[in-house]
Amino acid sequence: MKTRTIELSVDNRDEVIKLPINPPSVEFTEKQLNQVITLLNVGEANLKGKRGLKSTKLSSFFPSQNSPHYRYAKKSPKRYVSQLQEWKMAGKIVRVIITDMGINLAMLIDEFTYSMKEGDGDIYYTLSLSEYRKLNVPSVNIETKVRTNGLAERPNTVAAPPTHTVVSGDTLWGIAKTNYGNGAQYTKIYSANSGVIEAAAKSHGRSSSQNGNWIYSGTVLTIPA
């Protein structure tokens, strides 16, 4: 009887994989970015660093229909593999939840290895993941002045148009309603972002004729005046 649930999901659980067969063991590595330096008259010194990224490898198998473990599977082994490949190729941020370890991490797929044995329909795999962490770089405002004939020109004060990052549940109508007070203005947003919206749709397996006004989490939309 399984006592541990390992769940992988993307896009706010829009797609979910619950591992049908748990790895025999699960290990997480957490680095500490200390730095060892060598001083001529002192020897080695260890400088304290910040916490590094957590990483793990999950190794198990996806059971085929001929396996007694198939009752735990929600799909075929090839479909599991295909779904993980799609996530890896699209650079999806994967939410990894392991119930009895208190693990709830945003991670990226670093490597995905899989194989089959002769006469066995099961697919064996190793999934390597590392923690996803946003890079928060402080912005610096620098006033730019251009001199012409010895006279100082006004600094460049042209503001960039506002943007909106799509989250789960967003619609173009709702975004237009928030920004313009009128949802019918969604066509203005679509026209200004058609290329971005179309590219996001294609990355989710939809052609331009299928996508309509579909928008996807993480897409950054420019809000025109």
Read off the pLDDT of residues 56-67 as tens digits, 9 standing for 90 and up.
999 999 999 999
Percent of the chain with pLDDT over 70: 88
CA 220 to chain centre: 14
Whether domain 161-222 has CATH 3.40.50: no
pLDDT band at 10 (very low <50, low <70, confident <90, very high): very high
Model confidence over 165-183: pLDDT tens digits? 999 888 889 999 999 999 8
> DSSP state, 75?
S
CB atoms within 10 A of CB 81: 15
Q: Rounded distance, CA 136 to CA 189, Å?
A: 28
pLDDT at 204: 80
Tell me where in the chain the CATH 2.40.30 domain(s) lie: 6-131
Q: Rounded distance, CA 90 to CA 84, Å?
A: 10
Q: Are 29 and 56 in contact (CB under 8 A)?
A: yes
pLDDT at 42: 81
Q: Rounded distance, CA 174 to CA 168, Å?
A: 12
pLDDT at 135: 79
Model confidence over 70-124: pLDDT tens digits? 999 999 999 999 999 999 999 999 999 999 999 999 999 999 999 999 988 999 9
Q: Rounded distance, CA 174 to CA 193, Å?
A: 16
Tell me where in the chain the CATH 3.10.350 domain(s) lie: 161-222
Q: Are 170 and 223 in contact (CB under 8 A)?
A: no
Q: Rounded distance, CA 54 to CA 75, Å?
A: 29
CATH number of this structure's domain 6-131? 2.40.30
Q: Are 108 and 54 in contact (CB under 8 A)?
A: no
pLDDT at 209 over 50: no
Q: Are 129 and 56 in contact (CB under 8 A)?
A: yes
